[in-house]
Structure 1
């Protein structure tokens, strides 16, 4: 479960990235590490295992990532392993990404659909949201079969709900109140 710690790690890295002028570079490195963790379940399990010595874990991190990513990201990974928080890495990534994009004036739109958007639908949605919010938009897409159809979008604290599930729920509620 995500907690305030992931935001603290992300913010600390964000501050270092700003000082070193490596905001985008760190974001790419973090994204790459996330992809490695997604495709290498055994690596993450090794780093989480309580009986494997810390030095073995840091050695593996070094062997896998040194020379491929910035040293600050390696330090972050070692710190997460040291404090038994490597599972929180994806939250650290998301928090860092949000900070980095906000710094650049880019808003993140969480988008839920029942099926994956086509490239054209994605392009049109980004275009409409960019006009509405007056800024560049990046999408975080989630497939949610329960919404049946349509699109649910959250940008910052505003929710735009054009899902079939919500429309059906509203119709059902209206018919119950008419009785």
Structure 2
């Protein structure tokens, strides 16, 4: 999923700091914790409550991430708090993950099918893509019954549409054009 705007800028800044301090692996491990923090509704209500002073919120962040290795992570979280951008934490974490994949040469690929695929089929597609593209692939799958059959493959900004729906639409256009 592409994340743009302010969340991406925060992620880029955090990524630069993590890379500069040799903490990319540490941040990668902590990203799951960040996503869990972002999904915690009690914490979100606490953080978004204007009646609670910023200092109390910062203390909670310091208790959640007490390690010295987490000092830059804490700084990011406090900055999001101070700027009223806590609600974008999940987007920042996703954008950071995307930057990690790019740094490692991993392609982000989305596979859309008309019906759900078995895990073995998904793994086979991932392996074939890695072989053809010559790079590791992060494969996300989704189901869109309106495709009727076939697949749609998104690799970065490119879309490869081999769906029955698109083929039928093309055939319809040809028939209408021939009849005109």
Question: Which residue is equivalent to 1:26?
Answer: 27
- Asked if the contact 2:152/2:161 (under 8 Å) is kept, the reply is yes
SS of alignment partner, residue 160 of structure 1: strand
Higher-Rg structure is: 2
- Structure 2 residue runs without a partner (length 5+): none
Task: Tell me, yes or no, if structure 1 residue 166 matches structure 2 residue 128.
Answer: no
SS of alignment partner, residue 84 of structure 1: coil
SS of alignment partner, residue 112 of structure 1: strand
Aligned pair count?
177
Tell me how large the CA RMSD over aligned residues is: 2.6
TM-score using structure 1 length: 0.81
Question: Which residue is equivalent to 1:42?
Answer: 42
CA gap 1:18/1:69 in 2 versus in 1, 3 angstroms? closer
Matches of 2:85 and 2:141 in 1, distance apart? Answer: 25
Question: Which residue is equivalent to 2:106?
Answer: 106
Q: How does 1:14-163 map to 2 (within 5 A)?
A: 14-38=15-39, 40-67=40-67, 70-163=70-163
CA gap 1:162/1:15 in 2 versus in 1, 3 angstroms? same
- Structure 1 residue runs without a partner (length 5+): none
CA gap 1:70/1:110 in 2 versus in 1, 3 angstroms? farther
Q: CA deviation at 1:135?
A: 0.5
Q: CA deviation at 1:130?
A: 1.0
Q: CA deviation at 1:157?
A: 2.0
Matches of 1:49 and 1:145 in 2, distance apart? Answer: 41
TM-score using structure 2 length: 0.81
Q: CA deviation at 1:50?
A: 3.7
